[in-house]
């Protein structure tokens, strides 16, 4: 579905919901003005949820052009409609959204207006987190676990040259608490931290039931592979006990025929002692709530992610909100120092960007081990995060910088320089398929060397147009005897990305396979497989899929490529944010090219994602101000 069609669908649904809200209010005897107000409110909050917000604020009425600059009469009209409920002590008086007398909208004391379901999710998630914080108690870490922790991180000392080892501190925090949020960009050592943490948990309890999960199948598979690669230093007795499989969150919770419901929930908890969730920035509010409710209170939860990356596609940005405050209390610093054999005065947490209501549970990993201190990709990523558009443009304009390139292309049609760069980027892949179309390893490695990342799906700079452009060139240049041209969409070398989970075939949203001939000369889609190397799936058996020369930045989250080309639209678009540009740039290990006009690069870096939510306020137990909770 294109962005335009998704927007149109959201508007149609919002209009239908708002009309129903007005009719409901009129049935309850609301005045004409109150019915009009609640109809507009229902439309605005429905559109906001479609755009990723959890709620709106009454100030949004004025911002949308409505003639309600004074919130007091607006609030009164909403309650007079009869279909807007008030929360009491964080719980709406009308009960859960499934209750027969439930009202569709909730207005809280800080003038945040919710769809009832999302208010319920927010309250439930906050309640889960608060209960876990209260139940954490004072964990005692045995001497052998301390010894293991310090031994596992001893190798960092030389690299850090006397600097504080925040990887070790993050692991210690997870040993001391039952909820830990670890945020860090690519190359900051999140995987290494988790491998060593899991070893310590198994040292503490060799029978510990540890689950690994991620929001997507691709992220789950990468998690398993990354942990396996980073765990080679562990003693065999611990290595053999590490989890061998990662799950999508949906699969972990147990998908049922009823949409949105799972086998594991608050009344049927997961049989685990610890849960590690990778790529947690993809977690939306609804899924995060259901996941936390299904984990036993005594079990540990460790969330890994990058607070600066793109937020979830659905409503909410849970990880970014929970990551805002990495401050540590004096008591927690003392305990960390004791566990890590550090001096308390050397444990100085970075300044946060707000209060999340989760003291002593957040750590930011800022030391990058992938990019050197003078790495252009590392520096431009930091400048993007800082919102320094002038520095970003200046760095891209520097001819001396060999790891970055900017093609200043702002025309409605893609220019020849950009087209040439894309075609050249896939030339190594073309050569690999031409050299030996049965060498799956070489072909897959070559394909993963370069990727085009698009901000949007439609238009001349969108995923669909770029895939068509590259496919046509690739087929002409390869001229393979098994390519039937216009008679079939299937041809040797076509990269295919799965867009719907298929648990029978063990194919998940985001998995990429490559079409190549099998021994009999039939075209088969080969997917990497940890056990067999590669496994072939007949094209006719594939779940929903698309060509994958180009992909959206959202789909690329968690992936790494030697080189990326980032395609910026030629016209202003609300998806252009610093989070999108940061996520795209940091997919590159060696070289990044940006195609787009300078004005829109400036716009992207200057615009930060803002999603309305009240989660932090509910965690803190008090108001965070009339404007509602915002984060950037």
**Would you say residue 582 has pLDDT above 90?**
yes
Residue 464 pLDDT: 95
pTM for the structure as a whole: 0.89
Decide: 578 and 473 in contact? Cβ < 8 Å: no
Q: Which two tokens stand for residue 124?
A: 């439930």
Q: How confident is the model at residue 101 (pLDDT cuts 50, 70, 90)?
A: low
Those residues whose C-beta lies under 8 Å from the C-beta of residue 432, and which sit 6 or more positions away, are 439, 442, 443, 445, 446, 447
Determine how many CB atoms are found less than 10 A away from the CB of residue 47. Answer: 20
pLDDT at residue 627, as a whole number: 33
Q: What is the DSSP letter of 350?
A: P
Task: Detail the DSSP E strand segments found in 446-587.
Answer: 450-454, 495-498, 512-517, 523-529, 533-537, 545-547, 550-552, 561-567
The pLDDT score that the predictor gives to residue 628 is: 37
Q: Are 21 and 39 in contact (CB under 8 A)?
A: yes
Closest CA to 340 of 452, 196, 538, 129: 196
Q: Return the number of other C-beta atoms located less than 10 Å from residue 351's C-beta.
A: 9
Burial class (CB in 10 A: 0-12, 13-18, 19+), 460: middle
The lowest-confidence range among 1-10, 27-36, 467-476, 497-506 is 1-10
Note whether 527 and 513 are within 8 A (CB). Answer: yes
Cα 474 to chain centroid distance, Å, stands at 32
Q: How many CA atoms are closer than 13 Å to the CA of 55, on its beta-carbon side?
A: 28
Higher pLDDT, 157 or 373: 157
**DSSP per-residue codes, 176-218:** H-SEEEEEE-TTS-HHHHHHHHHHHHHHH-TT--EEEEESSHH
pLDDT at 578 over 50: yes
Strand-pair partners of 247: 213
In this prediction, residue 610 carries a pLDDT of 85
Lowest mean pLDDT among 142-146, 517-521, 580-584: 142-146
- SS3 annotation, 437-463: CCCHHHHHHHHCCEEEEECCCCCCCCH
Strand partners, 85: 106
| Percent of the chain with pLDDT strictly greater than 70 | 92
pLDDT for 136? 66
Taking the CA atoms of residue 587, residue 592, residue 598 and residue 599 in that order, the dihedral angle to the nearest 10 degrees is -10
- Convert the pLDDT of each residue in 540-575 to its tens digit: 999 999 999 999 999 998 888 999 999 999 888 888
Q: Is 521:566 a contact under the CB 8 Å cutoff?
A: no
| Structure token digits, residue 148 | 């293991």
Give the three-state DSSP class for 514.
strand
pLDDT at residue 477, as a whole number: 94
Closest C-alpha among 110, 58, 68 to residue 87:
110
| Res. 473: pLDDT tops 80 | yes
Nearest to 519 by CA among 507, 536, 495: 536
The whole-angstrom distance between residue 23's C-alpha and the CA centroid of its chain comes to 38
Q: What is the pLDDT of residues 432-452, one digit of tens each?
A: 999 999 999 999 999 999 999
Mean pLDDT of all residues in 249-264? 87
Most confident of 111-120, 358-367, 523-532: 111-120
Query: CA–CA separation, 184 vs 280, rounded Å?
Result: 11
Average pLDDT over residues 496-525: 90
Kindly tell me if the per-residue pLDDT of 314 is higher than 80. yes
- Asked whether the predicted pLDDT for residue 123 surpasses 80, the reply is yes
Is beta strand 87-88 parallel, antiparallel or unpaired with respect to 91-92? antiparallel
Find, among 182, 181, 174, the residue nearest to 208 by Cα.
174
* Chain mean pLDDT for the chain: 88
Which stretch of 283-287, 311-315, 479-483 has the lowest confidence by average pLDDT? 311-315
Bridging pattern class, strands 246-248 and 210-214: parallel
**Radius of gyration of the chain measured on its C-alpha atoms:** 26
Structure tokens at 28: 């309850």
- Residue 625: predicted pLDDT: 33
Q: What is the pLDDT of residue 93?
A: 52
Q: Six-digit token pair at 78?
A: 């909403």
Positive or negative, the CA dihedral 632, 306, 303, 563 is positive
Q: What percent of the chain has pLDDT over 90?
A: 62
Q: Give residue for tokens 């063990």.
A: 506
Contact between 152 and 194 (Cβ < 8 Å): no
Mean local confidence (pLDDT), 213-235: 88
Span 150-164, average pLDDT: 85
pLDDT class for 631, splitting at 50, 70, 90? very low
Question: If DSSP states are collapsed to H, E and C, what string results for 76-130?
Answer: HHHHHCCCEECEECCEECCCCCCCCCCCCEEECCCCEEEEHHHHHHHHHHHHHHH
SS3 state of residue 404: strand
Least confident interval from 181-185, 397-401, 498-502: 397-401
Nearest-angstrom CA–CA distance, 443 and 436: 8
Is 290 exposed, middle or buried (CB count within 10 Å of its CB: 0-12, 13-18, 19+)? buried
Question: What's the confidence (pLDDT) of residue 349?
Answer: 80
The per-residue pLDDT for range 419-430, each reduced to its tens digit, is 999 999 999 999
């Amino acid at each position: 579905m294109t962005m335009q069609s998704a927007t149109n669908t959201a508007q149609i649904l919002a209009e239908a919901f708002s009309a129903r809200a007005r009719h409901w209010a009129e049935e309850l005897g609301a005045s004409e003005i109150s019915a009009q107000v609640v109809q507009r409110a229902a439309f605005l909050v429905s559109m906001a949820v479609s755009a990723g917000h959890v709620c709106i604020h009454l100030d949004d009425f004025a911002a949308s052009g409505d003639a309600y600059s004074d919130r007091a009469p607006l609030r009164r009209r909403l309650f007079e409609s009869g279909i807007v409920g008030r929360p009491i002590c964080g719980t709406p008086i009308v009960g859960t959204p499934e209750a027969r007398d439930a009202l569709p909208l909730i207005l809280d004391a800080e003038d945040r207006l919710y769809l009832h379901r999302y208010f319920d999710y927010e309250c439930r998630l906050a309640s889960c987190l608060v209960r876990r914080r209260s139940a954490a108690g004072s964990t005692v870490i045995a001497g052998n676990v301390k010894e293991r922790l310090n031994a596992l991180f001893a190798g960092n000392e030389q690299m850090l040259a006397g600097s504080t080892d925040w990887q070790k501190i993050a692991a210690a925090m997870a040993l001391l608490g039952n909820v830990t949020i670890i945020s860090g960009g690519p190359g900051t050592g999140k995987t290494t931290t988790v491998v060593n943490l899991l070893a310590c948990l198994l040292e503490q309890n060799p029978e510990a039931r540890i689950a690994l999960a991620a929001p997507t199948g691709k992220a789950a598979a990468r998690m398993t592979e990354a942990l396996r690669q980073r765990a080679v230093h562990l003693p065999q007795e611990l290595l053999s006990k590490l989890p061998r499989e990662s799950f999508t969150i949906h699969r972990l919770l147990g998908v049922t025929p009823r949409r949105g419901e799972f086998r594991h929930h608050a009344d049927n908890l997961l049989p685990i002692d610890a849960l590690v969730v990778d790529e947690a920035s993809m977690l939306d509010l609804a899924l995060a709530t259901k996941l936390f409710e299904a984990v036993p209170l005594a079990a540990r939860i460790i969330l890994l992610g990058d607070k600066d990356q793109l937020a979830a596609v659905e409503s909410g940005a849970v990880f970014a909100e929970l990551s805002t405050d990495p401050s540590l209390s004096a008591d927690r610093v003392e305990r960390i120092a004791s566990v890590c054999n550090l001096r308390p005065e050397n444990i100085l947490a970075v300044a946060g960007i707000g209060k999340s209501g989760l003291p002593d549970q957040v750590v930011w990993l800022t030391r990058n081990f992938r990019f050197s201190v003078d790495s252009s990709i590392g520096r431009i990523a930091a400048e993007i995060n800082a919102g320094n558009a002038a520095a970003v443009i200046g760095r891209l304009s520097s001819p001396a910088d060999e790891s970055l390139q900017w093609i200043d292309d702002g025309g409605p049609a893609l220019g020849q320089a950009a087209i040439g760069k894309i075609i050249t980027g896939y030339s190594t892949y073309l050569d690999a398929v031409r050299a030996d179309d049965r060498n799956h390893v070489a072909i897959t490695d070559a394909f993963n060397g370069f990727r085009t990342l698009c901000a949007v799906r439609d238009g001349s700079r969108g995923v669909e147009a770029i895939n068509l452009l590259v496919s046509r060139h690739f087929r002409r240049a390869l001229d393979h005897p098994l390519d039937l041209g216009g008679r079939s969409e299937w041809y040797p070398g076509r990269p295919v990305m799965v867009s719907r989970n298929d648990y029978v075939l063990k194919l998940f949203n985001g998995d990429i396979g490559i079409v190549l001939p099998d021994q009999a000369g039939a075209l088969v889609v080969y997917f990497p497989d940890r056990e067999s190397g590669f496994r072939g799936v007949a094209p006719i058996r594939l779940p929903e899929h698309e060509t994958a020369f180009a992909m959206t930045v959202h789909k690329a989250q968690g992936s790494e490529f030697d080189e990326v080309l980032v395609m910026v639209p030629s016209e202003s678009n609300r998806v252009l944010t610093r989070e999108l540009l940061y996520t795209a740039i940091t997919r590159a290990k060696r070289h990044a090219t940006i195609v787009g006009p300078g004005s829109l690069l400036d716009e992207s870096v200057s615009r930060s994602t803002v999603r309305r939510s009240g989660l932090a306020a509910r965690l803190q137990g008090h108001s965070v101000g009339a404007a509602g909770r915002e984060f950037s």
